[in-house]
Amino acid sequence: MLDTLQAPTTTSSMLRVEGLKAYYQMNYFGVRREVRAVDDVSLTINRNEIYGIAGESSSGKSSLIKTIAGAITPPLRVVEGSVKFDFAGRELDVYADPQAMKAARWQNLSYIMQGSMNVLNPVRRVKHAFHDFAFKHMGLSPSAFRARVEKHLQRIGLDPHVLESFPHQLSGGMRQRLTIALATVCEPDFIIADEPTTALDVLVQQDVLALIKDIQQRMGASIIFVTHDMTVHAAIADRIGIVYAGRLVEEGPTLDVFRRPQHPYTAHLISSLPRIGDNKKRSALPGKPPNLADPPSGCRFHPRCPLAVDKCTNENPPLEARLTGRVACWRAGEVQTA
Least distance between other proteins and beta carbon 312 (Å): 19
Q: Nearest 5 degrees, angle CA 21-CA 24-CA 29?
A: 145
69 versus 158: smaller Cβ distance to Mg ion: 69
Number of residues that bind other proteins (CB under 8 A): 86
Task: Report the distance separating Cα 54 and Cα 103, nearest Å.
Answer: 30
Read off the DSSP letter of residue 1: -
Using an 8 Å Cβ cutoff, are 255 and 336 in contact?
no
Q: What is the CA angle 231-245-200, rounded to 5?
A: 30
Does 77 sit near other proteins (CB under 8 A)?
no
Q: Measuring CA to CA, how many Å separate 239 from each of 48, 74, 101, 255, 272?
A: 12, 31, 26, 8, 20
* Radius of gyration (C-alpha) of the chain in whole angstroms: 21
Q: Which does 311 bind (CB under 5 to 8 A by kind): ligand ATP, Mg ion, other proteins, none?
A: none
Binding flags for Mg ion, 94-123, as an x/- string (CB under 5 A): --------------------x---------
CB of 41 to ligand ATP, least distance (A): 12
Q: Give the C-alpha separation, 170 to 6, whole Å.
A: 39
Mask for 231-270, x = binds other proteins (CB under 8 A):
xxxxxx-----------------xx--x---------xxx
Q: Which does 37 bind (CB under 5 to 8 A by kind): ligand ATP, Mg ion, other proteins, none?
A: ligand ATP
User: What part of residues 157-186 is at the interface with other proteins (CB under 8 A)?
Assistant: 166, 168-169, 171-173, 182
Tell me which residue of 166, 208, 147, 202 sits closest to 183, measured CA to CA: 208
Min dist. Cβ of residue 225 to other proteins (A): 14
Residues between 196 and 215 that touch other proteins (CB under 8 A): 200-207, 209-210, 213-214
| 62 binds Mg ion, rule: CB under 5 A | yes
Among residues 270, 234, 272, the alpha carbon closest in space to that of 253 is found at: 234
Which window, 38-46, 78-86, 123-131, 324-332, contacts other proteins (CB under 8 A)?
Answer: 123-131
Select from 263, 264, 193 the least CA-distant residue to 229. 193
Question: Choosing among ligand ATP, Mg ion, other proteins, none, which partner's interface includes residue 269 (Cβ < 5 to 8 Å by kind)?
Answer: other proteins
Enumerate binding residues for ligand ATP (CB under 6 A).
24, 35, 37, 55, 57-63, 75, 114, 228, 292
